[in-house]
């Protein structure tokens, strides 16, 4: 009974080749994947395990499985734009920026040293923000440049260690003020100017007491 059900589920006849049966099994498994195909084509929504296949479908020239998920998605997002401008400085900047590489491109006619101005050359100045770069990172940068630049140009790759996160910030502030203390008024000395008037008077009084004369006794 089980064998009859298996036969009914198959599109390939019983005399199909081994390759045909394997293809059918793969397609059947694809039908069982619980994900929208629109999401598979969206780098932001595509599951991490399918990103390499999406990168292949969108013709990403350089792919590194050791990249973090954010870098992988950025590279996929920029792939179409890079291919549209391939062979230009703009495409080169986009391709490297997608891998989180800080790069400055100098074309030969912008060189400060006139003796080094050779037509068809450019400098790729790569700035590492806080550390040096590994051998694999250096190889990735070279591969991206080689695959994106125009065929005729020769270049000089320079790596600079620049810690931009330690840019000093200096601030100055000034504050001034006056403190006024008001105490109650205290009188220590009183000076008064006035006129002085001096007067002198004299009064003399005599008191006279008159008594009656003493009587004389008369004897008979």
Answer whether residue 204 is part of any domain: no
- pTM of the complete model beyond 0.75: no
Answer whether residue 13 is part of any domain: no
CA distance 192 to 172: 57
Answer whether residue 87 is part of any domain: yes
Answer whether residue 83 is part of any domain: yes
Most distant pair of Cα atoms in the chain: their distance: 216
Answer whether residue 54 is part of any domain: yes
CA distance 59 to 80: 8
DSSP assignment letter at 114 = G
Task: Give the range of the structural domain holding residue 84, as residue numbers without chain letter.
Answer: 33-164
Pick from 126, 160, 161: which is nearest to 145 by CA?
A: 126
3-state secondary structure of 207: coil
Task: Indicate if the pLDDT at residue 52 is higher than 90.
Answer: yes
Answer whether residue 99 is part of any domain: yes
Answer whether residue 180 is part of any domain: no
Q: Which pLDDT value is given to residue 73?
A: 94
Task: Indicate if the pLDDT at residue 132 is higher than 80.
Answer: no
Answer whether residue 50 is part of any domain: yes
Q: How much of the chain, in percent, has pLDDT values that exceed 90?
A: 18
Q: What's the number of domains the chain is made of?
A: 1
């Amino acid at each position: 009974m089980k064998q009859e059900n298996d036969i009914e589920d198959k599109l390939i006849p019983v005399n199909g080749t081994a390759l045909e049966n394997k293809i059918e099994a793969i397609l059947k498994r694809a039908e069982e994947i619980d994900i929208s195909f629109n999401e598979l084509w969206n780098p932001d929504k595509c599951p991490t395990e399918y990103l390499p296949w999406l990168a292949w479908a969108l013709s990403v020239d350089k792919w590194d499985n050791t990249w973090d998920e954010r870098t992988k998605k950025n590279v996929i997002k920029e792939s179409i734009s890079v291919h549209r401008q391939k062979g230009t400085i703009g495409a080169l900047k986009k391709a490297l920026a997608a891998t989180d590489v800080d790069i400055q491109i100098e074309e030969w006619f912008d060189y400060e040293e006139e003796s080094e101005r050779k037509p068809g050359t450019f400098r790729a100045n790569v700035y590492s923000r806080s550390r040096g770069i590994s051998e694999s990172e250096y190889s990735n940068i070279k591969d991206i440049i080689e695959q994106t630049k125009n065929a005729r140009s020769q270049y000089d790759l320079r790596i600079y260690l620049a810690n931009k996160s330690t840019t000093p910030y200096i601030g100055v502030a000034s504050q001034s003020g006056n403190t006024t203390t008001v105490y109650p008024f205290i009188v220590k000395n009183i000076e008064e100017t006035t006129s002085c008037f001096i007067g002198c008077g004299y009064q003399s009084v005599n008191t006279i007491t008159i008594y009656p004369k003493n009587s004389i006794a008369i004897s008979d």
